Amino acid sequence: MTLELLGQTIAYVAGAQHFYSLTGMTIASAMFVGATLYNGELKQATKGIVTIGSYAGFLLLMFSARVIETLTLFETTTHTHMAWAGTVTIVLATAEYIFGILLGVFVSQQARKRVRLEREKNDRTQA
């Protein structure tokens, strides 16, 4: 896949209806999951991210093999970006989800740190 083809494919995927709203929803959902499941524990979140990443890697290999086989079977060069759209969508959605998980873990860490500092401040003023 050339850079030009990659650019055409990303433009094609991003041009789909509701793409940006679904991107936001994916990141927001992952933030909720990251904050709820991992509660600010980056080590635990890293394990989940490795799992999601490896799953996406296998999907990427499967979809790429299917696209390459189809393109070579039909010997077509028109609308190649459309053939790669599913594969690129998997990559984008996985990256968005991982970003959301990390963002959720970071927000959770900051909230816990703030609560801890407030408690320490209240303990000092009461003592």
Whether residue 23 has pLDDT greater than 90: yes
Q: Where are the domains of the chain?
A: 3-126
- With helix as H, strand as E and coil as C, how does the chain read? CCHHHHHHHHHHHHCCCCHHHHHHHHHHHHHHHHHHHHCCCHHHHHHHHHHHHHHHHHHHHHHHHHHHHHHHHHCCCCCHHHHCHHHHHHHHHHHHHHHHHHHHHHHHHHHHHHHHHHHHHHHHHHC
- What is the model's pLDDT at position 69? 83
What pLDDT band is residue 127 in, cutting at 50, 70 and 90?
low
What pLDDT band is residue 29 in, cutting at 50, 70 and 90?
very high
pLDDT (tens digit, 9 = 90+) per residue, 76-125?
677 888 888 988 999 999 999 999 999 999 999 899 899 999 998 888 88
pLDDT (tens digit, 9 = 90+) per residue, 34-69?
888 888 888 888 898 999 999 999 998 998 888 888
Mean pLDDT of 13-31: 92
Q: Say whether pTM exceeds 0.85.
A: no
